[in-house]
């Protein structure tokens, strides 16, 4: 059973208290080495063979596809992260990197993990699509299943003349828990990959 949010709050409070005690000790402080350089959280995607080149593009109904999503903690301290998986068509907006605001689209799936400083966390994202129909140069994606969780989306894609197909994007936003505000905050980081659903013409 995973830890509850209250458990993570207790962990952060304990880590913070230990840090204060260590810094307060002149003897121990002489042996402490604090992290240098930029502090940041890393978010990345890899295909099934752990390379970006193997991320799937062309999809069909009745088949499972897998990518691997990963987080790298380079903050100098442990962090509690949440990832939100979302789906967009060509008219839906991605997160705004200028303003640092997330997408307003609903989340289809959620990951959560406590990652230690200097460590990486990865997890599979296995998905399939179903209930697809095409009419008048419009494709309707009825449902997408992510890690065995089926989501009814009924999302329309117009035919893309330039790229000769019907395209969607699965994208993942990175959020992190702020122990001061006691809320999760969007980290202005997201990754995405295209889905070409042209061959997925089954109406089942």
Is 89 found in the same domain as 29? no
Examine the domain organization and report whether 10 and 60 are in the same domain. Answer: no
Question: Looking at the structure, do residues 26 and 110 belong to the same domain, yes or no?
Answer: no
Please report whether residue 201 resides in a domain: no
DSSP annotation of 198: T
Residues 64, 124: Cα–Cα separation, whole Å: 12
What confidence score (pLDDT) does residue 30 get?
Answer: 35
CATH code for the domain in which residue 49 is found: 2.60.40.10
Residue 29 sits in the same domain as residue 46: no
Note whether 158 and 72 are same-domain residues.
Answer: yes
Residue 29: other Cβ atoms inside 10 A = 10
Has residue 60 been placed in a domain? yes
Q: What's the total number of domains in the chain?
A: 2
pLDDT at 202: 47
Q: Are residues 7 and 54 in the same domain?
A: no
In a domain, 47, yes or no: yes
Q: Are residues 151 and 128 in the same domain?
A: yes
Range of the domain at 9: 1-34
Please check whether residues 123 and 137 belong to one and the same domain.
yes
Query: How crowded is the C-beta side of 56, counted as CA atoms within 13 Å?
Result: 20
Which residue has 């997201």 as its token pair?
190
Question: Which distant-in-sequence residues (6+ apart) come within 8 Å of 161 by Cβ?
Answer: none
pTM, rounded to two decimals: 0.80
Claim to verify: residue 112 and residue 165 sit in the same structural domain: yes
Block means of pLDDT (10 residues each) for the chain, 204 residues, are 47 41 35 58 95 95 96 96 98 96 98 97 98 94 98 97 96 96 97 93 50
- What pLDDT score does 200 carry? 80
pLDDT score for 62 = 87
């Amino acid at each position: 059973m995973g830890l509850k949010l209250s458990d993570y709050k207790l962990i952060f409070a304990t880590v913070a208290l230990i840090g204060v005690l260590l810094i307060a000790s002149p003897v121990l402080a002489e042996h402490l080495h604090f992290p240098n350089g930029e502090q940041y959280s890393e978010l990345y995607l890899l295909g099934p063979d752990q390379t970006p080149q193997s991320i799937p593009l062309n999809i069909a109904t009745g088949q499972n596809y897998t990518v691997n999503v990963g987080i790298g903690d380079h903050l100098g301290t442990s962090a509690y992260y949440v990832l939100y998986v979302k789906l967009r068509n060509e008219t839906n907006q991605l997160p705004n990197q200028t303003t640092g605001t997330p997408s307003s689209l609903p989340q289809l799936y959620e990951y959560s993990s406590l990652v230690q400083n200097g460590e990486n966390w990865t997890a599979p994202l296995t998905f399939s699509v179903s209930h697809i129909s095409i009419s008048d140069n419009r494709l309707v994606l009825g449902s997408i299943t992510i890690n065995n969780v089926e989501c009814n989306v009924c999302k329309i894609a117009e035919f893309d003349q330039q790229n000769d197909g019907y395209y969607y994007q699965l994208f993942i936003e990175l959020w992190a828990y702020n122990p001061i505000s006691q809320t999760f905050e969007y980290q202005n980081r997201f990754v995405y990959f295209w889905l070409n659903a042209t061959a997925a013409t089954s109406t089942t």
